[in-house]
Amino acid sequence: MNYFEELTLNGQTYYRDDLVRLLNKSIDEPNISDFKRSLYRFIDDWISDKGIITVNTSGTTGAPKAITFRKEQFISSALMTCNYFNLTDATSGLLCLSPDYIAGKMMIVRAFVSGMDLMTLEPTDKPLLGIIEKVDFAAFVPLQVQSLMDDEISKKRFQKIKHVIIGGAPISPLLEKELENCTNAIYATFAMTETLSHIALRRLSGKAKSDKYFALQGVDFEKDERGCLVVNAPLVNDSPIITNDVIELYDSTHFRWLGRYDNVINSGGIKIHPEILEKRLSPFMKNRFFISSMPDERLGRKVVMVMEGGKDFPKQKVMDHVEKVLTKYEKPKAYFVVDKFLETPTGKVKKEETLKIATEI
């Protein structure tokens, strides 16, 4: 099979000449949706004679940047996923993410590599309302999954998908708790644009549920002097990727994620991981929230809590509960409520910008 030339899309198999005709006919149509235009543009890139493709990072943890990869690296990444989930020309996949980002692009590459039938749906918060066919493999962002779980029809369809991967933004402890009892195989991904999508998975559902990530084949891990993850994925990256993700390393292929090094709050000499506090507070929080920090003359940085809610939000009730759960040094020194968190296109909360708005209210 030639990975570059054959694609089964919504039940119809296209060879290279078919794809060229489809692209020539559709890519510049004035009424085509942004989703389809992005889909066709990536397919056009993929079947072109170019040996490289440029992708853009989301800009969540730094300034957005363009990274160039060889097509062989895309194929290696796709094969790791296809081999683990046994994706073949007898299986089906669902693309309901934007092909502008790496998660959407890699779903398309996996279809080229495996021969699976790739069903496509415009990205929405409840994409499964538009599909009735059997789906073996699908990728979602947490916001989509939460909306699917809140709708009974969508929830039933979601649980019929054999394998689900969730990425693009942190999964809240409340959503993770909901997914525990799902009967299908659901995984959180550890991924970044720099590694061409995920290089590790963590099971969220069933008896195999775990708080540890495990490496896909051909990947191994180290920890640097800061306690941060170093990814060795020679088939995807020409050199190790040094991250700012603080981890507990169990062995060369298993780790537990603790938080971001650049998020660590040094408050009066005590180092505090916001992600750990958020996990402890989540069981009683119905609305979204996050822990952050602000400058403080005495402590250097002080812990603060930002919550999403309207004017009737029970701020005092939350504050009273936090006082019982967190230690003296962990307790927020200030609390803020905003109507709506600012988000990236993939659903990640823009914490710095949201905190700035909160302090100006």
- Say whether pLDDT at 324 is over 80: yes
Residue 59 has a pLDDT of 56
Q: What is the mean pLDDT of residues 335-359?
A: 88
Cα 5 to Cα 27: distance, rounded to the nearest angstrom: 18
Would you identify the CATH topology of the domain 264-360? Answer: GMP Synthetase; Chain A, domain 3 (3.30.300)
Q: What is the mean pLDDT of the chain?
A: 91
**What is the per-residue pLDDT for 1?**
43
The rounded percent of the chain whose pLDDT value lies above 70 is 96
pLDDT band (50, 70, 90) for residue 72: very high
Share of the chain above pLDDT 90, in %: 68
7-217 matches 264-360 in fold: no
**C-alpha pair distances (Å), 61 with each of 143, 169, 263, 349, 356:** 19, 12, 10, 11, 17
Which pLDDT value is given to residue 3? 57
The 3-state DSSP class for residue 294 equals strand
CATH code of domain 7-217: 3.40.50.12780
d(CA 250, CA 221): 10
Cβ(32)–Cβ(38) below 8 Å: no
For residues 99-117, give the mean pLDDT. Answer: 95
More confident residue, 301 or 128: 301
What are the structural domain ranges in the chain? 7-217, 264-360
List the end-to-end C-alpha distance of the chain, in Å, as a whole number. Answer: 59
Give the per-residue pLDDT at 5: 83
- Residue 345's pLDDT is 73
Read off the tokens for 309.
């809610």
